[in-house]
Chains A and B, each alone.
Chain A
Amino acid sequence: MMESAFITVLIAMLGGAIRVSTPFMFVALGECLTEKSGRINLGLEGNLVLGAMVAYAISFHTGNPWIGVLAAGGSGLILGALHGYICKLPKVNDIAVGIAIMSFGTGVAFFFGKPYIQPSAPRLDAIHLGDWTGNPALAQALQVNPLFFVGIILAVAMSWAFANTRWGLIVRMTGDSAASAKAMGVSVDWVRFLATAAGGFLAGVGGAFLSLYYPGSWNQGLSSGQGLMAVALVIFARWDPIRCIWAALLFGAAGAIGPSLQSVGISQGYYFFNAAPYILTLFIMIASARSKGAAREVPGELSITK
């Protein structure tokens, strides 16, 4: 009994990691790109919510959820570009503008999203990877949305590009020392603008996953701060795309602990189990923060870590 309960929770955590992590992944990767260039965008929660609304609305009107995903990315791109443009102006504080953009983005999403709360829009399909196991819970846990793989491939690609390509080098250099980037003839403003816009695009796609796949519905409480948390996870992941994936997976898995423990009959103190992702993240941060690597990986130009 104990053993089967344990396995149930483990399977649920595996499923949770796969189902819940994708939006965190996309927002974190987007923010990772932006922060690598030396700018911070705390407002990706706004991109996420707006992306979710736009994706749902466009999927509803066109009948094609993938067009919805692209449109969500587009809406995120516009918000990201707005942030990037404003922060290009001298003396403007990027943290503050980010929070303002978050409020603007959610406001616009709520305003135009009213008519889409009730209707059902075509959703994204899953790839069934676990049907051969014959275990329904496992089969369910292994139903994976293509965007999940897109996120992982993107992370690997980003990681490789940062290390091995000219573009990656330029982004990292702008982030570490604007002065040396300028000396190399790089337009720091442009690099940051593009990195912020691209980061916004990714966060928008993350929103599309929320409304079109899991939980697969549009309403005002859909995100409940996931975008803000994902931005924080980038610091946790120490600006490494691959670690962003691990952080997102960990967060998704920890989020499944609360409901699955209740499903096997361990229900006392569920407020703490539901807060497991936050508690776990905090402890890991405390345990790992002092490592030598941590300090080395911070982009030197980042306003939040100075």
Chain B
Amino acid sequence: MSAEAAGPIPTTRTPNVRTLKLAESVFVPVFALVGSFLIFSLFLLVIGKSPVDFFTLVWTGGFGSSFSIQQSLQRSAPLILTALAFAIPARIGLTMIGAEGALVLGGFTAAAIAIPLVTSGAAAPVAWLIMAITSMAAGGLWIGLAGWLRHYRGVNETISSLLLSYIAIAIMNFFVEGALRDPASANKPSTMPIGDAYRIGSIPGTDVHWGFAAGVVLAIILYILMSRTTFGFAARMTGGNVRAAKAQGLPVGFLVVTCCAIAGCCAGLAGFFEVTVIHGQANASLVAGYGFTGILVAFLARHNPLMIVPVAIIFGAIAAAGGLVQRRMGMPDATVLVLQGIIFVVLLASDTLYGRIKFFQPEARGDRT
């Protein structure tokens, strides 16, 4: 590995372990990112396109102006929430891939409960509160069910959450194209629109919607919950070793189901924002793959709720830039898929570098703290 060659840089004083760890956790992903860009540049050269043009456009589209930055933030909003929905169960040792279904169900139930609220003319904040609670309850129940099945019935949660996703989509389609269909939604079967008065707008002074703010706040809350509370400690301990946790008398069943329910609440809330901000009603467009992208975001953020926010923003930026690349360079949409694939693979593979680069290892440098 060429990384080994990164020799010690002369420093005036010996950094402590924390600083070294931090430096390592910045260096490794940046190194990997540069590496994946180099690999992708080779791919571009092979197909006869200019890497310089390409990466200039990626910068312009993702971060180049305040408009681009806002787009990246906006696109990251649902990803933050779905990534949290994967990360929290992951901390307790579960691979829960059902955020897509919880999002769809959350969005659908929010739109459904909105129908009586809108027709009775409820005040908007009250309606939002009820809709948000409904969507979180629906999502929480859905993923919580997968957690319950796992703990109390021994059903593998990966497969059950995937199956529950497909079933959630079928439920939404059944109602949206049947009992709850708004007759006016001719060629795009949808529930009744909630109307402009009940739509949630942007954060003042920006084009970024409130779902982003909610995601950031939730990420902070969940970071504190998982890292700074007894609950989080118990959950992480269960994730580390279930038997030991049981032996310690921890309420494993409660911890598992609660973590899964929290995850479902996050995904359900993403559905709530999709309905109240983006679509104004529930329809098949809720099935947009955010749940699955969220899994990758969570992995790249190493299931750390705080890291999820910047990683999701980078994902949003790549998606935003992808459009610009298509338009300016006349390249197919699949180009961005290839770039994303290379970035993911290289970034994840770079995990192996942790602890292997001598420069960042206190023992190798001969200092102890």
Residues of B with C-beta under 8 A to A296: none
**Could you list 23 A-B pairs, sorted by A, with CB under 8 Å?**
A82-B345, A86-B349, A92-B351, A95-B299, A97-B349, A100-B296, A101-B345, A103-B340, A103-B344, A108-B338, A108-B341, A110-B334, A110-B337, A114-B334, A233-B159, A235-B159, A236-B159, A269-B174, A274-B170, A281-B163, A289-B149, A289-B153, A290-B154
Residues of A with C-beta under 8 A to B337: 103-104, 106-107, 110-111
Q: How far is the CB of B243 from chain A (nearest CB, A)?
A: 11
Interchain CB contact under 8 A, B166 and A278: yes
Interchain CB contact under 8 A, A278 and B163: yes
Indicate if A264 sits at the interface (CB-CB under 8 A): no
A293 to B292, CA, bound (A): 32
Q: How far is the CB of A90 from chain B (nearest CB, A)?
A: 5
Indicate if A282 sits at the interface (CB-CB under 8 A): yes
B166, B296, B333: the one contacting A96 at CB < 8 Å is B296
A92 to B349, CA, bound (A): 6
Q: How far is the CB of B8 from chain A (nearest CB, A)?
A: 23
Residues of A with C-beta under 8 A to B334: 107-108, 110-111, 114
Report the nearest B residue to A229, measured CB to CB: B162
CB under 8 Å from chain B, chain A span 255-277: 269, 271-272, 274-275
Indicate if B173 sits at the interface (CB-CB under 8 A): yes
Given known A271-B174, A285-B160, contact A107–B155 (CB-CB < 8 A): no
Q: How far is the CB of A60 from chain B (nearest CB, A)?
A: 19
CB under 8 Å from chain A, chain B span 158-176: 158-160, 162-164, 166-167, 169-170, 173-174
Q: How far is the CB of A237 from chain B (nearest CB, A)?
A: 10
Interchain CB contact under 8 A, B174 and A282: no
Indicate if B332 sits at the interface (CB-CB under 8 A): yes
Report the nearest A residue to B339, measured CB to CB: A107
Interchain CB contact under 8 A, B338 and A104: yes
Indicate if A294 sits at the interface (CB-CB under 8 A): yes
Indicate if B93 sits at the interface (CB-CB under 8 A): yes
Interchain CB contact under 8 A, A286 and B149: yes
Interchain CB contact under 8 A, B159 and A232: yes
Q: How far is the CB of B319 from chain A (nearest CB, A)?
A: 13
A160 to B182, CA, bound (A): 57
Interchain CB contact under 8 A, A282 and B345: no
CB under 8 Å from chain A, chain B span 320-365: 332-342, 344-345, 347-349, 351-352, 354-355
Q: How far is the CB of B236 from chain A (nearest CB, A)?
A: 14
CB under 8 Å from chain B, chain A span 173-209: none
Indicate if A4 sits at the interface (CB-CB under 8 A): no
Report the nearest B residue to A280, measured CB to CB: B163
A91, A271, A304: the one contacting B351 at CB < 8 Å is A91
Q: How far is the CB of A244 from chain B (nearest CB, A)?
A: 13
Indicate if A305 sits at the interface (CB-CB under 8 A): yes
Residues of B with C-beta under 8 A to A100: 296, 341, 344-345, 347-348
Q: How far is the CB of A47 from chain B (nearest CB, A)?
A: 13
Report the nearest A residue to B159, measured CB to CB: A232
Report the nearest B residue to A110, measured CB to CB: B334
Interchain CB contact under 8 A, A99 and B295: yes
Interchain CB contact under 8 A, A93 and B351: yes
Report the nearest A residue to B336, measured CB to CB: A107
Residues of A with C-beta under 8 A to B95: 95, 304
A108 to B355, CA, bound (A): 32
Interchain CB contact under 8 A, B153 and A290: yes
Residues of B with C-beta under 8 A to A290: 153-154
Indicate if A105 sits at the interface (CB-CB under 8 A): yes
Q: How far is the CB of B140 from chain A (nearest CB, A)?
A: 19
Residues of A with C-beta under 8 A to B158: 232, 235, 304
CB under 8 Å from chain B, chain A span 196-232: 228-229, 232
Indicate if B24 sits at the interface (CB-CB under 8 A): no
Residues of A with C-beta under 8 A to B93: 306
A-B complex: 8 closest residue pairs judged by Cβ atoms: A104-B341, A107-B337, A100-B344, A110-B334, A89-B352, A275-B170, A96-B299, A111-B334
Residues of A with C-beta under 8 A to B160: 282, 285
Q: How far is the CB of B20 from chain A (nearest CB, A)?
A: 17
B154, B167, B342: the one contacting A279 at CB < 8 Å is B167
Residues of A with C-beta under 8 A to B292: 99
A262 to B132, CA, bound (A): 37
Indicate if A163 sits at the interface (CB-CB under 8 A): no
Q: Beta-carbon contacts of B293-310 to A below 8 Å, as 1s and 0s? A: 001100110000000000
Report the nearest B residue to A100, measured CB to CB: B344
